Amino acid sequence: MSIKSIPGGYEVDCRPQGRSGKRYRKKFKTKSEATHFERWLISTKNQKEWIHKTTEKRSLRMLIELWFKYYGQQLKCGDKDVKHLLKLDDDLGNPKAFEVTKALVSDYRANQLAKGRKATTINRNHSRLSSVFTVLIKAGEINCDHPLTGLLQLKEPSREMGFLSIDEIKILLAALDGDALKIAKLSLATGARWGEAANLKNAHLVAGKVIYVDTKNGRNRTVPIKPALFKEIATGKSGNVFKPCYKEFYQILKSLNFDLPKGQATHVLRHTFASHFIMNGGNILILQKILGHSSILQTMTYAHLAPDYLNDAMELNPLSTL
């Protein structure tokens, strides 16, 4: 690699890939231009061609098993994810890893949509499959291009999130008793998922606060509750605070025939907390912390319920000046 002074300017004479690599020669009027070009060659053309991408001939199933060994077993839902991946492998026709292509996955997605599968479900499998290759490439277990690079996930329609009115909350609480009632109150007071509240241990009730551990995203969070509720649920004993009562709650909720979106049951308690929090003037950033969302984008689904949401539309529209 060199920059030579020549009549009328400078010449770059460079082989960024070594003696056996391609030779680049170019003339410039100034040394500065020549230097910038040489640096660009070194940064973009030195691709280490002696390291070739290989054709991964092992089966996709073998890669899924390796993914679980190196990464999946650490995940909270790892056992569930690997089952979905193995089912996906069957749906794809049990291909070799090198046979997994954008075209193959696109055909799978089209077939799933034709069968009535939701875009959300298909996208989850897309993410799981992408993770297999991402993890194993980073681990150095496979040396191939990522087959899903550039393949966008399906567009998902906005989900309808129902919540209970104050009157409906009164009706629900009046219909419940025992631990089902206490869990419902706790979820409505803290925005907890049913599983987080139902699996609460007495050791996680501290100084008027509830500590949720082993949450969906793996992060602990602490939410204060009023003294009366704290006294109602705290038993002072060791072990779990509540006995299992999901079926009891589910049956009572369904018997009340509230107008809820399809597939929404216990999660309505979490949505109800968040919706009323915002409608009562709560801060969206505080709500993110209470709910434990890793991204504010998740919490923004409740923003439209704020009392002053887009009120400027009433004052700043052209009719307001007439």
**Residues noted as catalytic:** 193, 216, 267, 270, 293, 302
Beta strands 9-14 and 2-6: pairing type?
antiparallel
Written as six digits, the tokens of 100 are 């997994």
Name the strand (E) or helix (H) holding 27: strand 24-28
Task: Return the closest-CA partner of residue 190 out of 272, 100, 294.
Answer: 272
Whether residue 256 contacts residue 172, with contact meaning beta carbons closer than 8 Å, is answered with: yes
Written as six digits, the tokens of 121 are 């479900």
Spatial neighbors of 104 by CB under 8 A, at least 6 apart, are 92, 95
Distances from the Cα of 254 to the Cαs of 53, 169, 182, 260, 261, in angstroms?
Answer: 56, 14, 18, 10, 12
Whether residue 127 contacts residue 48, with contact meaning beta carbons closer than 8 Å, is answered with: no
Tell me, rounded to whole angstroms, the distance of Cα 278 from its chain centroid: 23
Burial class for 98, CB neighbours closer than 10 Å (0-12, 13-18, 19+): middle
Buried b (16+ CB within 10 A) or exposed e, 249-284: beebbeeeebebeeebebbbbbbbbbbbbbeeebee
